[in-house]
Structure 1
Amino acid sequence: MKITIKLLLVVFLFTLSCKKPQEATVNTTTSVVSKPYKNYDFNTNALLQHVKTLSSNAYEGRRTGTRGAEKTRDYIINQFNQLNVKPLNGSFEQSFSFKAWGKAYEGVNVLGFIKGTDSLKKHIVISAHYDHEGIKKDKIYNGADDNASGVGASIALAEYFKQNPPKHNVVLAAFDAEELGLKGAYHFVDSKILPINQIGLNINFDMIGRNKNNELYVVGANLYEQLKPAINSISLPEGFSLLSGHDGLDNKEGWVTSSDHAPFHKKGIPFLYFGVEDHEDYHKPTDDFEKIKPVFYQNSVQTIIEVIKNLDEMSF
């Protein structure tokens, strides 16, 4: 009986980590070629290079506690330094220990800080996990979409904020151990390195680099309706869609607890989660840079920036 309960618990915890496989439905929508934005608020070539680098074999799949994860942290911190992002509370690295599947791990979050121009007490925490599956049976799981694409977006936002300082204080969080049960995000929230009453909003990215129908989902606006105006007022390029859903209020698979926004939501902190529906390379060694769709990915990042511009004008 204990074995059965333990197995059920493992299955339950595993389904909470990263994005859950989407429901078995057939999308008959005809693929549409998306046009690019006329202007981007970041270097599009640099964005793609970030993903290409972080999802290369040299980073060994970025599994928590490995040399590849350490190299990834060094890369992110180097980018933050170049873009004038400061460490949160004096250090970029927030270490933590945990156990998953009976194994002990040492995780490290990377936390950057951008001081807002207004004296607003609330912070916006922008997050993307940098870890992935590592090496399994001699195959490297490079995780280009999951989630080098999210980390690349965070660096692009740092680039944008360097030229366009936000009104709110912003924390750029590259969380570790998402694939092992959202451990890094839970540690950040529970550690109170930033008091809960000072966090006004979480914006999370997880898998934003490819979709055959040019559809990017945003989750959370139907739960926190005060955020809807920030989404509904933006103009999108032809052929690119930003859809609300997967929040437990429709007939789609719920993503409310599927990535690093979950610990914030459970504390009552509003969130927006940007991601795509799972594709055939999800959690497979074939999730490589060559599968990223450059125009879709660039449009996803610019769309997120447009939403954040609006959110930064709001009070939390």
Structure 2
Amino acid sequence: MLRKFALPVLLVLTAACAREPELAQPLEDLRTLAADDMEGREVGTPGNARARAYIVERFSEIGLTPVNGSFEHAFDFSRPVDFRDPQGERRTLAGVNVLGLVEGEDRSRVMVVSAHYDHVGYGEGEIFNGADDNASGVAALLAIAEHFMAHPPEHDVLFAAFDAEEGGLNGARHFVANRPELPGEIAFNLNLDMVGYSPDGDLYAVGTWHYPVLVPLVEHVADGAPVRLLTGYDRPTDNPRDDWTLLSDHAPFHMAGIPFLYLGVEDHEHYHQVSDEYEIITRDFFLGAVETAVRMAEEVDADLDAIAGAVSGPEN
């Protein structure tokens, strides 16, 4: 019996060892971005700049092409001095989006894969490290970038690590309103925000209510996903927390008539708390979510022309 199964066991062990670097890198990216020396990555702070420098370094290592000659794209925005008084005094801040491109064979359309890298910073001696929100999403974005560099996509894929999501989706708003010069039109947004912590093992794909053409694609990915991939949280409702359509960086794309899918988890006890640390990440779920995000990006790329042809704008 031992001899009979020796070769299959050896093959399984060899495959597992070969996958270890693939599994280790997203965890290392997440751990690095959620470290104390990033100081919570609040926009305009030294910690945010350190996080951005790390992402730029990773884009370069992966081999992404700078967009319009640079990975870094600065913008200004304003927000209330006191969020409890949105109509009160405002201040102007500077943010920086990080953009990199993988060229496809067909350059007429572009898929944007996005994740915000900023978080809420620190205060009163405590650092809000934002491991799930959203170091996890950036780590997944980097994994997708590495995949497409190794397996070239059919269409151009632009990777956008957005700044200043917290407090107004400002980086994504600026990007959509001031789109970079690209050979093709932006035809889709795959947004990743909080994909690292889910005790129940549930990952949501949001957007199919607005774009029913995406239902078969999501169902196909769900069939083979290593996590439980569900749809929902995108119907109009009396409780705004139950409709995530406008709650993350996919919103400006949707409002511009660009279809989207948003991958994320439900709010949890660590959301915007100092407890959102690398140690709370549910490792197997996170790695399964990364694998699911990679497969989702593959499927969207393969179906991008059909999706673009079926969608003329948001239903709601």
In the TM superposition, what is the alpha-carbon distance from 1:40 to its structure 2 partner?
6.3
2:272 corresponds to 1:293? no
- Give the SS at the match of 1:121: strand
Q: Distance in 1 between matches of 2:296 and 2:106?
A: 21
* Contact kept? 1:42, 1:156, Cα under 8 Å: no
Residue 141 of structure 1 is aligned with which of 128, 141, 148? Answer: 128
What does residue 70 of structure 2 align with?
91
What does residue 219 of structure 2 align with?
232
In the TM superposition, what is the alpha-carbon distance from 1:194 to its structure 2 partner?
4.6
Greater C-alpha Rg: 2
Aligned pairs (5 A) from 1:1-316: 43-101=22-80, 102-116=90-104, 118-194=105-181, 198-234=185-221, 235-236=223-224, 240-248=227-235, 253-314=242-303, 315=305, 316=308
Aligned partner of 2:280: which letter? K
Q: Distance in 2 between matches of 1:249 and 1:150?
A: 25
* Regions of 4+ moved over 4 Å: 38-42, 194-197, 249-252
Q: Size of the alignment, in residue pairs?
A: 278
TM-score (norm 2): 0.84
Change (3 A) 1:204 1:153: same
Greater helix fraction, Structure 1 or Structure 2 = 2
Aligned partner of 1:92: which letter? F
In the TM superposition, what is the alpha-carbon distance from 1:312 to its structure 2 partner?
1.2
CA RMSD of aligned residues (A): 2.1
Change (3 A) 1:228 1:42: farther
> What does the per-residue CA deviation read over 1:14-63, in whole Å, with 9 as the maximum and x for residues that have no partner?
xxxxxxxxxxxxxxxxxxxxxxxx89697111110111111010100000
- Give the SS at the match of 1:120: strand
Change (3 A) 1:64 1:305: same
In the TM superposition, what is the alpha-carbon distance from 1:119 to its structure 2 partner?
2.4
Q: Distance in 2 between matches of 1:79 and 1:197?
A: 25
Aligned partner of 2:143: which letter? A
Q: Distance in 1 between matches of 2:184 and 2:149?
A: 26
Change (3 A) 1:114 1:197: closer
Q: Structure 2: any 5+ residue segments left out of the alignment?
A: 1-15, 81-89, 309-316
In the TM superposition, what is the alpha-carbon distance from 1:195 to its structure 2 partner?
6.9
Aligned partner of 1:125: which letter? V
Aligned partner of 2:58: which letter? Q
> What does the per-residue CA deviation read over 1:256-282, in whole Å, with 9 as the maximum and x for residues that have no partner?
000000000000100000000011010
Change (3 A) 1:89 1:147: same
- Give the SS at the match of 1:43: helix
Change (3 A) 1:232 1:222: same
What does residue 87 of structure 2 align with?
none
Deviates more, 1:298-307 or 1:140-149: 298-307
* Contact kept? 2:119, 2:166, Cα under 8 Å: yes
Q: Distance in 1 between matches of 2:298 and 2:255?
A: 25
In the TM superposition, what is the alpha-carbon distance from 1:304 to its structure 2 partner?
1.3
Q: Structure 1: any 5+ residue segments left out of the alignment?
A: 1-37
TM-score (norm 1): 0.84
- Give the SS at the match of 2:296: helix
What does residue 13 of structure 1 align with?
none
Q: Distance in 2 between matches of 1:202 and 1:49?
A: 25
Aligned partner of 1:67: which letter? P
Q: Distance in 2 between matches of 1:189 and 1:233?
A: 29
Q: Distance in 2 between matches of 1:225 and 1:194?
A: 30
* Contact kept? 1:189, 1:196, Cα under 8 Å: no
Q: Distance in 2 between matches of 1:224 and 1:190?
A: 22
* Contact kept? 1:41, 1:302, Cα under 8 Å: no
- Give the SS at the match of 1:153: helix
Change (3 A) 1:83 1:195: closer
Greater relative contact order structure (CA < 8 Å, 6+ sep): 1
Aligned partner of 1:309: which letter? E
Q: Distance in 2 between matches of 1:140 and 1:66?
A: 13
Q: Distance in 1 between matches of 2:199 and 2:181?
A: 38
